């Protein structure tokens, strides 16, 4: 920000050029993750001592050019023109110089001091690329430093060159790209308009801004560009089009003519892609072998998230339970104890319980991305995703949705365009996540126990149907969202296929850890607050009448002559029943009663209504809330008394609440409803506004209600019960 006086150095580069590796090597992994204002893109920064000066190193998202048409792309130019930006380190992959030098050329043209870090020099040397760095440096009028970021080679030279660039206060010599004379006339026409727009910008840079405007403006969603600049650009473009000129082509090809010349003069390129990378690709994108390996890798990720994270999640839950026990023992019984035990500790538990899956998923994605396989995953599966208007890169997040929507929503970051990210983020909570499974098991065990459909058990058929349905609904939702709420051109698929590389374990770990930390702080706060709110909703007001009644019963039990064990059992039963009655009296309980008329048409009663309210904390909480509602105490999905209580529950007219039909209706409701505050919290964090999580919750709840209504009413019409 320009009001922040501390000088900053940007680190920019193409995707896959090793930019983040270099950033981490320079910062020693001590980075701060924030947000760029107005867009949900991480702004990773680190402090760096350079000679006598302390500078802030800013990791700019990977890009191929400064040209922008969306606010996300615009932030690179914004960062570049901030008044405290003193220099840019432009990282270039030495194996792709013929394209990779376009970005540094554009940066140097813009007038900011640039140091070119020629990365992966070892890989380049292996495939026979030789670069005359001195000559290249002279042509670009900027230092060119060969580095190998993964091996920390060349970093000292890079920092020395950077220090020298920072001392240069005067205008530096710049390479001059020759643009066609007609274009120069257009630039001269535009320059005064630019001068009015950016009075602080030195006159020497008006021409560069004019170039940027001609290339970027038109059909864009950029912010802060005044109308007179737009109008001037519009009329220049129209006049050019009338004369058959293509301004974009003129600008870009003039630059490439200059670049091709520079590359020819300084580099000897032998050309072919490293043959082993080619050989790996032959297997990994082979029609049979490629798809088989793809399936195995995806299944491995799925299995790890689903089953592999289980022991860790169990351990965290045990630990949370232990802490709750400790707190209950230390604090006197009462509201404070309940707040600490059921509000705060439970809330913190609700946040950290996601840590294993988030870490695992980001380690996997980091590995896939850095090794180059993620691009192949998208390449192999894009055909399928295209059908529903999604990008090939949406596949991994969608698949992860089977385990948990929270890390899956975070994983949509690999998708470039905001619109494509949002569609994926808003559809994937419909994937049947692992928290829905206990509910299916409870319902199936209650209403389908021992029944069969042909060769299969009715429960297995029901479970299979739920998972199939979730996939179909998710894809359909994506297709519908793309056509209605987020209309726009189908995602284009222009994806570089980087050569295969072995990722560095340290970098994978740093990145996964950073993601987790951001989640814990940002989404964690919301989850904690919501847990406390829900606790209050289901605890207050307390009925004095109920307390007194149970106090009397307890005294009676204690006075009775039965054995100690019988007494303890009787007291536990009383406690469970009291909790149930108190819950019924609470705001949440009353709300459950109040919405019963709405729930009846889909086959539920007020008790299930209270369970649904409790389940907003997390779907599986539905079961423990039902345990309390039915006065059973602690319960899980295999709990026999809970199943029994559900089977015996009756509507006012005496008909059973849980029938196979209402069971299916309940499963469908939980499949489709957004009964998960953590998903809401993470969508808020990743989309940057409350608008999208509110929309997500509303559309999923309406969808769930309508589907359950159709199932229950339709089923009754067809004579099922």
Applying CB under 8 A, the residues found at the interface with another protein are 64-65, 67, 69, 95-99, 102, 215, 218-219, 248-249, 252-253, 256, 269, 271, 273, 281, 285-288, 290-291, 375, 379-384, 386, 392, 489, 492-499
10 DSSP β-pair partners = 58, 88
Rg for the chain, CA atoms, rounded = 31
Q: Which is nearer to another protein, 126 or 517 (CB)?
A: 126
CB 374 within 8 A of CB 413: no
In the bound complex, what is the minimum distance in angstroms from residue 115's beta carbon to another protein?
22
Angle between the 458-483 and 437-447 helix axes, to the nearest 10 degrees?
140
Distance CA 81, CA 89 (A): 15
Token pair, residue 345, equals: 């500790």
Q: Which is nearer to another protein, 233 or 621 (CB)?
A: 233
Token pair, residue 165, equals: 């660039």
**Which has the closest alpha carbon to 177: 116, 114, 109, 112?**
109
In the bound complex, what is the minimum distance in angstroms from residue 628's beta carbon to another protein?
51
In the bound complex, what is the minimum distance in angstroms from residue 385's beta carbon to another protein?
11
Q: Which is nearer to another protein, 263 or 661 (CB)?
A: 263
Question: Residue 292 in 3-state DSSP?
Answer: helix
In the bound complex, what is the minimum distance in angstroms from residue 178's beta carbon to another protein?
16
Q: Which is nearer to another protein, 28 or 271 (CB)?
A: 271
Q: Which is nearer to another protein, 246 or 452 (CB)?
A: 246
Q: Give long-range contacts, CB 8 A cutoff, 24+ apart: 232-235.
A: 232/189, 232/190, 232/193, 233/190
In the bound complex, what is the minimum distance in angstroms from residue 497's beta carbon to another protein?
4
660 DSSP β-pair partners = none
Task: Report in angstroms the alpha-carbon separations of 346 from 317, 334, 343, 353, 535.
Answer: 9, 16, 6, 10, 9
DSSP structure string for 571-588: HHHHHHHHHHHHHHHSHH
In the bound complex, what is the minimum distance in angstroms from residue 428's beta carbon to another protein?
22
In the bound complex, what is the minimum distance in angstroms from residue 694's beta carbon to another protein?
30
In the bound complex, what is the minimum distance in angstroms from residue 291's beta carbon to another protein?
5
Q: Which is nearer to another protein, 217 or 674 (CB)?
A: 217
Q: Which is nearer to another protein, 281 or 620 (CB)?
A: 281
Q: Which is nearer to another protein, 113 or 499 (CB)?
A: 499
Task: Report in angstroms the alpha-carbon separations of 622 from 489, 635, 636, 655, 699.
Answer: 41, 10, 10, 23, 21
Token pair, residue 582, equals: 């108190």
Q: Which is nearer to another protein, 95 or 474 (CB)?
A: 95
Count of other CB atoms within 10 angstroms of residue 592: 27
Q: Which ranges in 331-372 belong to alpha helices (H)?
A: 335-338, 346-352, 355-371
In the bound complex, what is the minimum distance in angstroms from residue 162's beta carbon to another protein?
26
How deeply is 709 buried, as exposed, middle or buried, from its count of CB atoms within 10 A (0-12, 13-18, 19+)? middle
CA angle, corner 223, sides to 220 and 226, nearest 5?
95
Distance CA 379, CA 471 (A): 21
Q: Which is nearer to another protein, 77 or 587 (CB)?
A: 77
In the bound complex, what is the minimum distance in angstroms from residue 15's beta carbon to another protein?
11
Distance CA 88, CA 9 (A): 5
**Which has the closest alpha carbon to 484: 431, 423, 547?**
423
**Which has the closest alpha carbon to 282: 365, 274, 122?**
274
**Which has the closest alpha carbon to 291: 376, 364, 366, 375?**
376
Q: Which is nearer to another protein, 361 or 394 (CB)?
A: 394
Buried b (16+ CB within 10 A) or exposed e, 304-342: bbbebbeeebeebeeebeebbeebbeeeeeeeebbbbbb
CA angle, corner 679, sides to 371 and 321, nearest 5?
100
Cβ within 8 Å of residue 614, ≥6 positions away: 534, 538, 588, 621, 622, 624, 625
In the bound complex, what is the minimum distance in angstroms from residue 125's beta carbon to another protein?
15
Which residue has tokens 């309406």? Answer: 702
Q: Which is nearer to another protein, 95 or 412 (CB)?
A: 95
In the bound complex, what is the minimum distance in angstroms from residue 187's beta carbon to another protein?
18
In the bound complex, what is the minimum distance in angstroms from residue 366's beta carbon to another protein?
21
Q: Which is nearer to another protein, 97 or 466 (CB)?
A: 97
Q: Which is nearer to another protein, 104 or 592 (CB)?
A: 104
Buried b (16+ CB within 10 A) or exposed e, 231-256: ebbeebbeebeeeebebeebbeebbb
In the bound complex, what is the minimum distance in angstroms from residue 261's beta carbon to another protein?
14
Distance CA 578, CA 574 (A): 6
Token pair, residue 576, equals: 């469970």
Q: Which is nearer to another protein, 214 or 358 (CB)?
A: 214
In the bound complex, what is the minimum distance in angstroms from residue 71's beta carbon to another protein?
15
Distance CA 590, CA 570 (A): 28
In the bound complex, what is the minimum distance in angstroms from residue 70's beta carbon to another protein?
9
Task: Report in angstroms the alpha-carbon separations of 677 from 519, 587, 694.
Answer: 14, 19, 11
CB 470 within 8 A of CB 405: no
Q: Which is nearer to another protein, 168 or 490 (CB)?
A: 490
CB 407 within 8 A of CB 420: no
In the bound complex, what is the minimum distance in angstroms from residue 27's beta carbon to another protein?
28
In the bound complex, what is the minimum distance in angstroms from residue 198's beta carbon to another protein?
23
Q: Which is nearer to another protein, 256 or 367 (CB)?
A: 256
Q: Which is nearer to another protein, 126 or 383 (CB)?
A: 383
């Amino acid at each position: 920000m320009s009001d922040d006086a501390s000088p900053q150095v940007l680190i920019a580069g193409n995707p896959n050029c090793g930019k983040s590796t270099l950033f981490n090597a320079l910062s020693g992994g001590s980075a701060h993750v924030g947000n760029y204002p107005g867009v949900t893109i991480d702004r990773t920064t680190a402090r760096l001592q350079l000679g006598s000066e302390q500078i802030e190193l800013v990791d700019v998202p990977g890009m191929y050019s400064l040209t922008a048409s969306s606010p996300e792309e615009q932030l690179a130019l914004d960062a570049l023109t901030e008044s405290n930006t003193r220099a840019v380190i432009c990282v270039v992959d030495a194996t792709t110089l013929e394209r990779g030098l376009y970005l540094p050329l554009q940066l140097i043209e813009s007038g900011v001091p640039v140091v070119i870090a020629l990365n992966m020099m070892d890989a380049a040397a292996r495939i026979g690329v030789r670069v005359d760095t001195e000559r290249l440096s002279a042509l670009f009028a900027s230092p060119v430093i060969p580095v190998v970021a993964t091996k920390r080679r060349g970093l000292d030279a890079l920092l020395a060159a950077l220090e020298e660039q920072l001392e240069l206060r005067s205008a530096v010599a710049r390479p001059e790209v020759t643009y066609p004379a007609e274009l120069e006339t257009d630039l001269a026409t535009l320059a005064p308009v630019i001068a009015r727009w950016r009075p602080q910008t030195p006159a020497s840079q008006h021409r560069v801004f004019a170039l940027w405007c001609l290339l970027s403006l038109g059909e864009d969603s950029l912010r802060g560009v005044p109308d007179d600049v737009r109008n001037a650009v519009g009329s220049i473009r129209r006049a050019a089009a009338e004369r058959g000129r293509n301004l974009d082509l003129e600008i870009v090809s003039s630059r490439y003519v200059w670049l091709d010349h520079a590359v020819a003069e300084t580099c000897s390129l032998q050309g072919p892609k490293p043959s082993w990378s080619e050989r790996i690709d032959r297997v990994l994108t082979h029609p049979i072998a490629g798809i088989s390996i793809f399936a195995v890798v995806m299944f491995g990720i799925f299995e790890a998230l689903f089953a592999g994270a289980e022991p860790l999640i169990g351990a965290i839950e045990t630990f949370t339970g232990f802490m709750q026990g400790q707190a209950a023992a230390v604090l006197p019984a009462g509201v404070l104890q309940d707040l600490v035990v059921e509000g705060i500790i439970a809330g913190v538990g609700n946040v950290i319980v996601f840590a294993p899956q988030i870490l695992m998923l980001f380690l996997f994605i980091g590995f896939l991305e850095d090794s180059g396989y993620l691009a192949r995953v998208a390449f192999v599966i894009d055909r399928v995703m295209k059908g529903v208007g999604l990008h090939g890169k949406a596949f991994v997040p969608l698949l992860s949705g089977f385990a948990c929507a929270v890390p899956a929503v975070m994983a949509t970051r690999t998708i470039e365009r905001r619109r494509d990210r949002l569609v994926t983020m808003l559809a994937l909570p419909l994937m049947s996540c692992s928290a829905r499974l206990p509910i299916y098991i409870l319902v199936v065990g209650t209403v389908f126990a021992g029944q069969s459909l042909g060769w299969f058990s009715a429960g297995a058929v029901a479970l299979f149907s739920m998972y199939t349905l979730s996939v179909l609904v998710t894809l359909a939702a994506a297709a519908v969202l793309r056509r209605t709420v987020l209309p726009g051109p189908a995602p284009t698929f222009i994806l570089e296929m980087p050569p295969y590389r072995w990722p560095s374990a340290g970098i994978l770990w740093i990145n996964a850890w950073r993601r987790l930390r951001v989640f814990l702080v940002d989404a964690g706060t919301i989850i904690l607050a919501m847990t406390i709110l829900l606790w209050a909703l289901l605890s207050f007001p307390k009925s004095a009448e109920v307390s007194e009644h149970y106090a009397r019963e307890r005294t009676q039990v204690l006075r009775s002559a039965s054995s100690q064990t019988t007494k303890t059992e009787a007291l536990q039963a009383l406690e469970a029943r009291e909790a149930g009655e108190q819950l019924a009296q609470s705001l949440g309980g009353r709300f459950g009663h109040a919405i019963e008329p709405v729930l009846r048409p889909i086959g539920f009663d007020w008790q299930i209504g209270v369970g649904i309210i409790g389940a907003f904390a997390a779907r599986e909480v539905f079961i423990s809330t039902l345990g309390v509602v039915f006065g059973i105490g602690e319960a899980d999905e295999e709990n026999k008394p809970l199943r029994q209580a559900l089977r015996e529950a009756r509507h006012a007219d005496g008909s059973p609440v849980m029938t196979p039909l209402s069971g299916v209706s309940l499963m469908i409701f939980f499949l489709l409803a957004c009964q998960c505050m953590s998903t809401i919290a993470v969508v808020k964090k990743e989309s940057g506004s409350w608008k999208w999580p509110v929309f997500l919750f509303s559309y999923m709840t309406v969808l769930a209600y309508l589907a359950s209504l159709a199932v229950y009413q339709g089923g009754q019409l067809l004579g099922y019960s």
